[in-house]
């Protein structure tokens, strides 16, 4: 059994967890659960394509918090939602990070709540790629990752695992424990 010290190493920390549109989004609930077990408050943002893989209801049940996916929610308690979410965070976690979302971040696009929140952030950003190995190895993805690292973003590299195309290759999302450990290490927990 884990000690209470280990279980609560992220107490009083707020993580904004951005879930982008990758099949690996199904793992987001496990990451949310482990972050909460470590004591963190987890606020989730879904990109439009992420909603095809995981529902706001699931993440709300696991996080105990409202799930955000739209700038224009009339029932939002925030007046400027993306900056307020960014300012409330101790860390931004993009997990999974699809090739598309990484490209948007690298180019500085601000067309949705998730990308605007990252652009407004002054806290550490952790990117956790998950995609087909050919997409991961494409020069554009390598360039985008280099740009993101140049911004000071951190990353948890993908691992060899089962990909949706049916083969075993690098591109599978890192383990939940590796993701939580990276968050904990960055926050000095």
Three-class SS state of 16: strand
pLDDT in tens, the chain (189 residues): 444 444 578 999 999 999 999 999 999 999 999 999 999 999 999 999 999 999 999 999 999 999 999 877 656 665 788 999 999 999 999 999 999 999 999 999 999 999 999 999 999 999 999 999 999 999 999 999 999 999 999 999 999 999 999 999 999 999 999 999 999 999 986
Catalytic residue positions, numbered: 165
Q: What is the pLDDT of residue 80?
A: 84
* CATH number assigned to the domain covering 4-186: 3.40.50.1950
| Residue 131: φ, ψ to 5° | -170, 175
Domain ranges for the chain, please list them. Answer: 4-186
CB crowding 122-140: b at 16 or more within 10 Å, else e: ebbbbbbbbbbbebbeeee
Three-class SS state of 150: helix
């Amino acid at each position: 059994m884990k000690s209470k010290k280990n279980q609560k190493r992220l107490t009083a920390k707020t993580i904004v967890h951005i879930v982008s549109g990758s099949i690996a989004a199904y793992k987001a609930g496990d990451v949310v659960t482990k972050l909460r077990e470590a004591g963190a408050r987890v606020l989730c943002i879904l990109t439009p394509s992420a909603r095809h893989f995981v529902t706001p209801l699931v993440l709300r049940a696991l996080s105990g918090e409202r799930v955000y996916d739209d700038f224009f929610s009339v029932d939002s308690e925030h007046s400027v939602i993306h900056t307020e979410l960014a300012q409330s965070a101790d860390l931004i976690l993009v997990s999974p990070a699809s090739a598309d979302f990484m490209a948007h971040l690298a180019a500085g696009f601000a067309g949705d709540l998730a990308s605007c929140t990252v652009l407004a952030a002054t806290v550490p950003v952790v990117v956790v790629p998950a995609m087909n190995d050919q997409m991961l190895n494409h020069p554009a993805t390598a360039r985008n990752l280099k740009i993101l690292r140049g911004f000071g973003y951190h990353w948890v590299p993908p691992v060899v695992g089962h990909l949706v195309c049916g083969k075993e290759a690098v591109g599978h999302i890192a383990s939940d424990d590796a993701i939580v450990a990276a968050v904990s290490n960055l926050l000095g927990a």
